Amino acid sequence: MNKQKGYNKLHEKNRILGLEFFDLLILILFYLVLFIFSKNLIANLVILLIVYLFLIFYKKGKPPHWWESVIRFLLTPKTYSMRKEKDEETIR
C-alpha cells in the first residue's frame, strides 16, 4: 500500500504568540499608545501583559477572525428601506 504525505496543521488558525494577526495588531497599537503617554517601563510591561492575557482568555472558544467580523459589521453602511412591507412578504 502506498502512503501519501499529509499535512497535519493545514486547518489550524494562523497564530503569532498565541494571537491571531488582528489581535496582535490590537496589542501593538495598545503598546504604542501606552508607551507614548507613560515612561515607566515596568508598569507599561505589566499593563501590556494584562491586555495580552485578556485577549487570550477573551478569544477562547470564539471562531477565527471574530474581531474582524465584528468591526466589519459595525463599519459597513446599512440601508433601510422606507417602503411599507406587504403582508405577503412577512408571511413567507
Do the domain assignments include residue 51? yes
Evaluate whether residue 59 is within a structural domain: yes
Q: Is 9 exposed, middle or buried (0-12, 13-18, 19+ CB in 10 A)?
A: exposed
| pLDDT, averaged across the chain | 79
Expressed as residue numbers, the domain containing 37 is 13-65
Residue 86 domain-assigned (yes or no): no
**Domain total for the chain?**
1
What is residue 18's predicted lDDT score, i.e. its pLDDT? Answer: 75
In DSSP terms, which residues pair with 19 in a beta bridge?
Answer: 16
Q: pLDDT digits over 9-61, tens only? A: 655 666 777 788 888 888 889 889 988 888 888 888 898 999 899 888 888 88
Higher confidence at residue 75 or residue 81?
Answer: 75
Q: What are phi and psi of 19, to 5 degrees?
A: -120, 150
Residue 79 lies in a domain: no
Q: Is residue 29 part of a domain?
A: yes
